[in-house]
Amino acid sequence: MADGGLFGPRTVSWHLHGDPTMWIAGICSLFLQALHPRAVAAVVQNSRFQEDPIGRLRRTSDFVGVATYGTTEKARTAAQRVRHVHRVLSASDPRTGDEIRLDDPDLLLWVHCAEVASFSEIVRRAGFPLSDAQHDRYFAEQRRSAELVGLDPDQVPGSRSEMDDYFRRVRPELARTRESDVVFRFLHHPFTTWWLRPLNVGYLPIGHLAYSLLPGWARDLHGRPAMPDRVATAGAKAFRAFGGSVPDRIRYRFPSGHVLAAVERLGEQAFPSAKAVVRL
């Protein structure tokens, strides 16, 4: 039988991660991740994202894509590369000078929770038909992704209530820092090379929409103005409607074609679909 990978078409993750709004949700998750002082310091000190914005965003989306839609072997191979990078890199805490290990379980857990909470909340807010029970199921499924990067799945929130508890515990550690300001500016104006700078004009509304979809407490920590909630929700719905109007075989060709490869293995019924979630 064809390998459905770590998830397969009978999971919430399979269909939610194929929603067009994931593009906005992914950017929003980066705004959220930047509020953890040690996590954002590690990123700023080790990543070339400001010199290669397209490559950085593509690598992030590629890992989510292969983990969700790739074969089991491909998902595990990609995870081994990520874990190797985390093992060999470190950073310095700008507040204390202490070493920051990128494979610190606390930091890995923060990144995981910031990602999956943003993915599910924003895609649902944009109109994806996710019930409360399916939302819980999504978090439980995503423990498999957490295990890929080296976390103990039993220590990872597996429901909405557990995720809420996690954020309540971690919020005292979060703050706006010099490094979070670097990420904030980058996610609003990612193109710095002179010949790419004109692209910032078209991208800016997307970046600001993603920022505006953060939880209110996260926007307060960033301390920057945002769109009103109703405007941000309407923007997310409009983005979803536009993305959904693009034919599947064109939309899923970018950025890396993992969905199309999965459909080749499993058949046409494997295309992600909001309608399929209702039947799960």
Q: What's the pLDDT tens digit per position in 78-133?
A: 999 999 999 998 899 998 999 999 999 999 999 999 999 999 999 999 999 999 99
So what's the pLDDT on residue 19? 97
- pTM across the whole model: 0.95
Looking at residue 34, its amino acid is A
Cβ pair 146, 79 in contact under 8 A: no
Cβ pair 109, 156 in contact under 8 A: yes
Report the candidate in 149, 84, 81 with the shortest Cα–Cα distance to residue 111: 149
So what's the pLDDT on residue 240? 97
Low-confidence stretches of the chain (pLDDT < 70) are 1, 50, 53-56
The token duo for 114 is 């910031």
d(CA 51, CA 45): 13
Residues 6+ apart with CB under 8 A from 54: none
d(CA 87, CA 91): 12
SS (H, E, C) 50-65: CCCHHHHHHHHHHHHH
Radius of gyration of the chain (CA): 18
So what's the pLDDT on residue 149? 94
d(CA 260, CA 161): 34
Element (H, E) at 279: helix 274-279
Three-class SS of residue 90? strand
So what's the pLDDT on residue 56? 67
Between vectors from CA 122 to CA 256 and to CA 268, what angle results, nearest 5°? 45
Three-class SS of residue 157? coil
